[in-house]
């Protein structure tokens, strides 16, 4: 259900309400930049508030963020929008700890606090390599990084060495979103709907939706498959003409649906296959279900043109062929047959499990690790 922003105060009033809190109430603050942010801090928030009985503040720029209506008495929620109130929130922040999945702190208009020594913790929103999918200075102004796996530690330390940066505190954390998905999977009793195919393009000029999305959807529907398209939220914002044309072409087909937010758990868990390009959700899917991804071979989105300064191959490149099939945009007709033979493919569950164990720290336990660090940080400060 969409939560009307009229239910809440104006962002400036919300900021004023936040500032009226005591120092103790503002000890731990989470900030959500977009709709996906909650996915990456949900498990940690639950650990802190429900299992450790700690008070947190949850500040969001998402007007229909479900956390705004949370009944958890240990969560104080605030909506500050995307304008000047948000800028003021960051500049004047008085808190011990701020956690968020938004990179580029202090690089653009979102600054570190000018009035208080806040400890900033970054939570990754993708398992992908930090030097390839984030900008060059994206993590430089954080104090602590909750790392997904050894690759993040290696990449960040190498970046500090190459650019002469002050060492950050790196925590062997894991990936909270994956932990949530694995928990959901273990609680599911429904059988897989063998016809549902998820298409999850990332953003950027060369994403699969821009390059061959219409043709791909057409091929799948003609093969009597059910298609769920979940574009990246930036595609929904920046490519409205394309989204409208797809809706106009396929919207009346009962086997097609467009999701503009989080994929409903029932669809996510009761699907046969995911087709993606360079979206981080591909690893989430492969590691949750131990099933291969069909990758459309469009050019890789690289936000850091200097990523070769760090002499480490991004894991999304290293594991691409190991976790699925790579298909050229000119060869989409092979996909229905690949899907048909999904149970006979060469990428075994054992191989995917091995990659997972080598890629992600503390599987199923990231929230406990993060909460332990936060509590120690509070005591030490």
Nearest 10 degrees: CA dihedral of 305, 234, 207, 152?
A: 50
Q: What is residue 189's predicted lDDT score, i.e. its pLDDT?
A: 56
Chain-centroid distance, C-alpha 43: 13
Give 379's contacts (C-beta < 8 A, 6+ positions apart): none
For the entire predicted model, the pTM comes to 0.94
CA distance readout (Å), 140 to 63, 131, 230: 29, 12, 31
- Give the bridge partners for 98, in sequence order: 29, 120
Q: What is residue 192's predicted lDDT score, i.e. its pLDDT?
A: 59
Q: How far apart are CA 221 and CA 250, in angstroms?
A: 9
CATH superfamily of 182-359: Glycogen Phosphorylase B; (3.40.50.2000)
Check if the beta carbon of residue 30 is closer than 8 Å to that of residue 70: no
Six token digits for residue 246:
């797809």
Q: How do the pLDDT tens digits run along the chain, 381 residues long?
A: 444 444 457 999 999 999 999 999 999 999 999 989 999 999 999 999 999 999 999 999 999 999 999 999 999 999 999 999 999 999 999 999 999 999 999 999 999 999 999 999 999 999 999 999 999 999 999 999 999 999 999 999 999 999 999 999 999 999 999 999 999 998 865 565 567 999 999 998 899 999 999 999 999 999 999 999 999 988 998 999 999 999 999 999 999 999 988 888 888 888 999 999 999 999 999 999 998 999 999 999 888 999 999 999 999 999 999 999 999 999 999 999 999 887 665 447 889 999 999 999 999 999 999 999 999 999 986
- Give the bridge partners for 197, in sequence order: 227, 273
Six token digits for residue 300:
């890789």
Q: What is residue 3's predicted lDDT score, i.e. its pLDDT?
A: 46
Q: How far apart are CA 138 and CA 135, in angstroms?
A: 5
Class of 5-175+362-380 per CATH?
A: alpha beta
Domain with CATH 3.40.50.2000 in the chain: 182-359
Q: Which of 259, 325, 272, 256 is nearest to 296 (CA)?
A: 325
Give 161's contacts (C-beta < 8 A, 6+ positions apart): none
CA distance readout (Å), 330 to 216, 280, 297, 298: 10, 23, 9, 10
Q: How far apart are CA 128 and CA 144, in angstroms?
A: 18
- Give the bridge partners for 263, in sequence order: none
Strands of the sheet with 293-296, listed across from one edge:
256-258, 226-229, 196-200, 273-276, 293-296, 324-327
* 196-241 per-position pLDDT tens digit: 999 999 998 899 999 999 999 999 999 999 999 999 988 998 999 9
Residue for token digits 């360079």? Answer: 278
Task: Report the residue count for the chain.
Answer: 381
* 12-22 per-position pLDDT tens digit: 999 999 999 99
Q: Which of 126, 106, 138, 127 is nearest to 37 (CA)?
A: 126
Neighbours of 369 (CB within 10 A): 18
Q: What is residue 6's predicted lDDT score, i.e. its pLDDT?
A: 43
Six token digits for residue 157:
């330390």
């Amino acid at each position: 259900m969409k939560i009307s922003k009229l239910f809440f105060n104006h962002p400036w009033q919300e900021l004023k309400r936040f500032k009226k809190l005591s120092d103790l109430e503002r000890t731990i603050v989470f900030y959500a930049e977009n709709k996906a942010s909650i996915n990456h801090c949900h498990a940690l928030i639950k650990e802190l508030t429900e299992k450790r009985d700690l008070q947190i503040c949850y500040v969001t720029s998402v007007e229909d963020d479900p956390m705004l209506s949370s009944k958890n008495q240990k969560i104080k929620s605030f909506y500050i929008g995307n304008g000047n109130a948000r800028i003021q929130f960051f500049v004047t922040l008085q808190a011990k700890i701020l956690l968020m999945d938004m990179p580029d702190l202090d690089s653009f208009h979102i600054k570190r606090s000018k009035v208080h020594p806040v400890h900033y913790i970054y939570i990754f929103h993708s398992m992908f390599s930090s030097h390839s999918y984030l900008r060059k200075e994206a993590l430089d102004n954080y104090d602590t990084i909750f790392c997904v796996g050894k690759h993040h530690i290696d990449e960040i330390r190498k970046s500090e060495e190459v650019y002469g940066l002050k060492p950050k505190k790196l925590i062997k954390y894991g990936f909270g979103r994956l932990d949530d998905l694995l928990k959901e999977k273990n609680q599911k009793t429904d059988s897989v709907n063998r016809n549902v195919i998820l298409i999850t393009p990332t953003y950027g000029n060369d994403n699969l939706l821009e390059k061959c999305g219409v043709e791909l959807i057409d091929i799948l529907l003609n093969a009597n498959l059910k298609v769920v398209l979940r574009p990246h939220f930036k595609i929904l914002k920046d490519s409205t003409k394309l989204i409208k044309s797809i809706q106009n072409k396929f919207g009346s087909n009962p086997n097609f649906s467009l999701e503009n937010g989080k994929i409903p758990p029932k669809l996510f868990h009761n699907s046969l296959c995911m087709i993606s390009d360079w979206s981080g959700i591909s690893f989430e899917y492969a590691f949750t279900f131990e099933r291969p991804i069909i990758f459309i071979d469009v050019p890789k989105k690289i936000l850091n043109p200097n990523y070769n300064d760090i002499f480490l191959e991004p894991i999304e490149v290293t594991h691409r062929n190991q976790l699925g099939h790579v298909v050229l945009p000119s060869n989409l007709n092979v996909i229905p047959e690949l899907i048909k033979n999904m149970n006979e493919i060469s990428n075994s569950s054992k191989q995917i499990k091995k990659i997972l164990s080598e890629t992600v720290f503390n599987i199923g336990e990231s929230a406990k690790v993060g909460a332990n660090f936060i509590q120690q940080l509070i005591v030490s400060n």
